[in-house]
């Protein structure tokens, strides 16, 4: 037992040293339910409408800056909101087109700021989004993806500390895999041209100089798909950049039509500094569903 504990202690020391030296990047494989920053998907195209709920979990009044980025992460639309303690605000994203928001899918990044407009740690933000498809009469939504600023050892920085490379940066959300356990036969869904089924890929990197922002990122995924009868599709690779909205047939080929099935996504590279999320949505008439794809996790059993 002593030898085992000694080995484990040595492993932990080596791991901590590697993290501090920058050889290992602290990451989240799955998002938190709240944090210093929350991330929302939105769709600002004319045939869609999105509502974002932004909640301040703390007892203190907080000023929250929200950056709305389009698909290629060009210049964002910046909006600031003041929230009293434990209050929430609902944002109509479509209404922001009148203020210059591009009519396309995108990502909103919400973070608490101080009086100087600098990002600060708060552990105060949570929320959710709802995207309605006006062409199908359906909608889907999910919780905002939360994350916190951490130091080189992966420890969250103190509340009200400035977020930056010298103090602590936002922990990337970077699963190495994603699981779409099941989808309906695409031929029975509304046409992909009107959003009958959507695979939504989000990839970006944080920037901190001279002010906080985000730039487009990229992930190449290996896809292992299988029909509901157990017959597999040929393995394929799909590369997504920035905010990519596509559909099952565009990713797997026309042969996907005619059967329900499922897909496992495996990232080909670690992508240091990258945050990535994958959502899926589908609508059967006015009945719609959508969610953030979970990490693929297999736990060995004693009888395997």
DSSP labels, 21-83: TTSS---BSS-BSSBSEEEEEEE-STTEEEEEEEEE-SSS-EEEEEEEE-TT--SPEEEEEEE
Q: How far apart are CA 168 and CA 146, in angstroms?
A: 16
CA-to-CA separations, 84 to 33, 55, 56, 110, 125, in angstroms, rounded:
20, 10, 7, 16, 12
Q: What angle do CA 8, 12, 16 make, to 5 degrees?
A: 175
Which pLDDT value is given to residue 1?
Answer: 38
User: pTM for the complete prediction?
Assistant: 0.91
Considering only CA atoms, which of 67, 126, 58 is closest in space to residue 86?
58
Which pLDDT value is given to residue 60?
Answer: 97
Q: How far apart are CA 296 and CA 92, in angstroms?
A: 33
Q: How far apart are CA 215 and CA 205, in angstroms?
A: 5
Q: How far apart are CA 23 and CA 39, in angstroms?
A: 26
Which pLDDT value is given to residue 270?
Answer: 74
Which pLDDT value is given to residue 7?
Answer: 30
Which parts of the chain register pLDDT below 50? 1-23
Q: Do the Cβ atoms of 113 and 119 come closer than 8 Å?
A: yes
DSSP labels, 114-143: -TTS-BB--S-EEEEEEEEETTTTEEEEEE
- pLDDT tens digits, one per residue of 15-30: 333 334 444 689 999 9
Beta bridge partners of 111: 37, 65
Residue 187 neighbours by CB under 8 Å, 6+ apart: 257, 258
Which pLDDT value is given to residue 59?
Answer: 98
Q: How far apart are CA 304 and CA 283, in angstroms?
A: 37
Which pLDDT value is given to residue 303?
Answer: 60
Which pLDDT value is given to residue 115?
Answer: 96
């Amino acid at each position: 037992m002593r030898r085992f504990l000694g080995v484990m202690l040595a492993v932990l020391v080596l791991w901590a040293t590697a993290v501090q030296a920058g050889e290992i990047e602290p990451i989240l494989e799955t998002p938190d339910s709240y944090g210093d920053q929350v991330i929302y998907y939105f769709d600002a195209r004319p045939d869609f409408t999105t509502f974002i709920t932004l909640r301040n979990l703390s007892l203190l009044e907080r000023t929250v800056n929200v950056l709305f980025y389009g698909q290629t992460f060009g210049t964002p639309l910046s909006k600031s909101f003041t929230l009293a303690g434990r209050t929430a605000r609902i944002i109509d994203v479509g209404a922001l087109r009148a203020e210059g928001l591009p009519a396309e899918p995108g990502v909103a990044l919400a973070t608490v700021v101080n009086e100087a407009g600098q990002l600060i740690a708060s552990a105060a933000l949570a929320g959710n989004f709802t995207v309605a498809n006006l062409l199908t009469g359906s909608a889907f939504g999910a919780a905002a993806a939360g994350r916190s600023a951490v130091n080189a050892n992966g420890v969250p920085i103190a509340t009200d500390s400035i977020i930056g490379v010298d103090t602590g940066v936002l922990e990337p959300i970077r699963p190495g895999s994603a699981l779409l356990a099941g989808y309906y036969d695409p031929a029975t869904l509304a046409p992909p041209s009107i959003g009958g089924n959507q695979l939504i890929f989000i990839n970006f990197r944080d920037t901190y100089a001279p002010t906080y922002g985000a730039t487009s990122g990229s992930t190449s995924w290996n896809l292992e798909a299988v029909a509901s009868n157990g017959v597999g599709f040929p393995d394929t690779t799909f590369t997504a950049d920035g905010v990519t909205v596509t559909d099952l047939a565009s990713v797997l080929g026309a042969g996907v039509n005619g059967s329900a099935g499922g897909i496992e996504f495996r990232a080909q590279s670690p992508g240091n500094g990258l945050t990535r999320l994958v959502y899926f949505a589908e609508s059967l008439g006015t009945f719609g569903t959508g969610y953030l794809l979970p990490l693929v996790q297999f736990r060995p059993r004693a009888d395997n």
